[in-house]
């Protein structure tokens, strides 16, 4: 169960696809219940418009897509409408599902309903701790009624689920202490990466070509693109051979364009387009350095707890990474020795890191090789699918005893 699924943009869609394909590759019969493509702009493709349900095949699993209104995913109340719409429309997929042994859900409400209706164990995926993140980003006041109601809802689902599968160890302590989840019910399952889509580039370096620094993904509030643009402005006066590319779509597009125009930056290119996974893999492979420009959490005083699936994709294509982060992403990059870590928001430090990598191709090669080797062993979709299969089989056995 997943509201977001390719061709939708963003980490949630990517992780749901990786899990479905990973389970299928490990011999599981997988049925995905998801919404018609709609994120982030609410542009519903012609073949899905106003259809209550559509059943199709993707790779080696079945996908059942249900109705969503053509609403742009911007603001709290519009997002709430979209969540409610999928919760309702997903119920119409029930007759098309067939036999079920267990339910894995990144969309909690419909996942819970399906597990109860089918009388099967429920694994809830935890991509992020949205309520805690909103407080840290100062998007919601800690004393607000909305937040207090949300915390009650979170606790309810965390208690009702048979197991929880967070993508980051950074969530463990909060889930255990704040939401009273027993540690034995928490299982780390990485976001993973499809190594058949995200491959190392076979092209030889072209010394006459531009040195490309690339971001690919959602233009969301989780990211701070101002630090990229400010770093690009510094580099513009020092090295004419470096070009920045920001590819994706989302709510921050306007502010990105405004910042580029305000600073009159000439070495930043925007590709405002949603690409297929294969197209993203190809684009990443054409870059020299890949960047994760996370927004700083300074005001809250807390490090970043989540783990972006983007990092696995970056490592899979065999490119050095610059992670603007504190917390789990920076720890991961340091542990895998696959890139450089800079303080989020420090554009001068970012500019220096980019120049350092450009001037040291041997360092780039070592970092690239380290990242690729790590994901091959630890974070492929086959690996995460195998782990999830074992977890779900254990749940099914437990429910039958």
**231 and 366, same structural domain?**
yes
The CATH number of residue 170's host domain is 3.40.50.2000
Residue with tokens 């169960």: 1
Tallying the residues shown for the chain, one arrives at: 401
**How many beta carbons lie within 10 A of that of residue 261, not counting itself?**
9
Q: What is the DSSP string of 35-92?
A: EPS-TTT----GGGTT-SEEEEEETTEEEEEE--------SHHHHHHHHHHHHHHGGG
What is the token pair recorded at 93? 């997929």
Same domain, 395 and 292: no
Q: What's the structural domain count of the chain? A: 2
pLDDT in tens, 132-164: 777 776 677 777 887 788 888 888 888 889 999
**pLDDT at position 149:** 83
State the average pLDDT over residues 326-348: 94
pLDDT in tens, 288-314: 999 999 987 645 567 788 898 899 999
pLDDT value of position 205 = 60
Binned at pLDDT 50, 70 and 90, residue 401 comes out as very low
**Residue 156, domain member (yes or no):** yes
243 vs 137, which has greater pLDDT?
Answer: 243
**Would the pLDDT of 321 be above 90?**
yes
At 362 the pLDDT is 96
pLDDT, one tens digit per residue, over 69-121 is 998 887 778 888 988 999 999 999 999 998 999 999 999 899 999 999 999 99
Inside any domain, residue 86: yes
Are 143 and 238 members of one domain?
no
Q: Is residue 6 part of a domain?
A: no
Residue 218 bridge partners (DSSP): 249
Mean pLDDT of 382-386: 95
Same domain, 389 and 361: no
Tell me, yes or no, whether 261 and 295 share the same domain: yes
**Residue 294 counted as domain residue:** yes
Residue 197 lies in a domain: no
pLDDT of 204: 57
Same domain, 111 and 223: no
Same domain for 173 and 295? no
> First-to-last CA distance in the chain?
26
Q: Which helix (H) or strand (E) holds 131?
A: helix 130-136
Residue 10's pLDDT is 77
By C-alpha distance, which of 168, 175, 173 is closest to 190? 168
For 388, the domain range is 11-192+381-400
Q: How far apart are CA 112 and CA 129, in angstroms?
A: 18
Whether 324 is in a domain gets the answer yes
> Is the confidence at residue 360, as pLDDT, over 80?
yes
Average predicted confidence (pLDDT) for the chain = 90
Give 228-239 pLDDT, tens digit per residue.
Answer: 999 999 999 988
Please give the pLDDT value at position 141: 75
Q: How far is CA 238 from the centre of its chain?
A: 34
Same domain assignment for residues 237 and 350? yes
In this structure, are 172 and 243 located in the same domain? Answer: no
Task: Summarize the confidence of residues 257-282 as an average pLDDT.
Answer: 93
If one compares 277 and 105, the residue with the highest pLDDT of the two is 105
Residue 343 domain flag: yes
Is the torsion defined by CA of 376, 382, 385, 386 positive or negative?
negative
295 and 392 share one domain: no
Give the pLDDT band of residue 364 (cuts 50, 70, 90): very high
Model pLDDT, residue 244? 97
C-alpha distances out from residue 395 to 103, 185, 392, Å: 10, 11, 5
Share of the chain above pLDDT 70, in %: 95
pLDDT of residue 167: 93
> 169 and 23 in one domain?
yes
Confidence of residue 179 (pLDDT cuts 50, 70, 90): confident
93-97, 172-176, 207-211, 366-370 — which one is most confidently predicted on average?
A: 366-370
Region 7-16 average pLDDT = 86
Residue that wins the pLDDT comparison between 9 and 32: 32
Q: Is the pLDDT of residue 379 over 60?
A: yes
242 and 278 share one domain: yes
Q: Answer whether residue 260 shows pLDDT above 80.
A: yes
- Inside any domain, residue 202: no
> What 3-state class would DSSP assign to 102?
coil
């Amino acid at each position: 169960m997943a509201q977001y699924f390719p061709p939708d943009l963003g980490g949630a869609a990517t992780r749901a696809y990786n899990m479905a394909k990973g389970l299928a590759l490990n011999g599981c019969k997988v049925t995905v219940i998801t919404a018609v493509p709609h994120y982030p702009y609410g542009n519903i493709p012609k073949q899905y418009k106003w259809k209550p349900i559509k059943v199709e095949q993707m790779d080696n699993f079945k996908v059942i897509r249900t109705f969503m209104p053509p609403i742009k995913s911007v603001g709290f109340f519009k997002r709430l409408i979209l969540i409610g719409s999928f919760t309702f429309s997903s119920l119409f997929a029930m007759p098309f599902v067939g036999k079920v042994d267990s339910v894995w859900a990144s969309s909690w409400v419909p996942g819970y309903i399906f597990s109860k209706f089918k009388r099967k164990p429920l694994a809830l995926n935890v991509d992020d701790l949205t309520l805690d993140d909103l407080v840290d980003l100062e998007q919601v006041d800690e004393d607000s009624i909305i937040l207090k109601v949300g915390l009650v809802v979170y606790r309810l689902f965390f208690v009702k689920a048979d197991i929880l599968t967070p993508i980051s160890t950074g969530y463990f302590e909060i889930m255990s202490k704040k939401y009273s989840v027993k540690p034995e019910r928490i299982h780390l399952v990485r976001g993973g990466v499809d190594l058949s889509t995200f491959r190392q580039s076979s092209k030889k370096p072209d010394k006459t070509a531009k040195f490309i620094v690339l971001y690919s993904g959602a233009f969301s509030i989780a990211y701070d693109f101002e630090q990229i643009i400010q770093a690009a402005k510094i580099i513009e006066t020092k090295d004419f051979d470096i070009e920045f590319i920001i590819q994706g779509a989302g709510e921050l597009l306007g502010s990105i364009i405004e910042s580029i125009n305000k600073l009159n930056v000439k070495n930043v290119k925007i590709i405002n387009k949603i690409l297929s996974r294969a197209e993203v893999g190809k684009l990443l492979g054409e870059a020299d350095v890949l960047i994760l420009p996370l927004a700083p959490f300074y005001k809250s005083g807390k490090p970043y707890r989540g783990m972006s699936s983007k990092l696995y994709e970056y490592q899979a294509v065999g490119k050095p990474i610059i992670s603007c982060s504190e917390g789990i992403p920076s720890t991961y990059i340091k542990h895998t020795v696959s890139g450089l870590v800079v303080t989020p928001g420090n554009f001068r430090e970012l500019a220096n890191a980019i120049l350092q990598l450009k001037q040291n191709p041997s360092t780039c090669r070592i970092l690239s090789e380290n990242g690729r080797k790590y994901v091959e062993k630890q974070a492929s979709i086959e690996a995460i699918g195998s782990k999830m299969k074992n977890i779900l089989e254990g749940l099914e056995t437990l429910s039958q005893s």
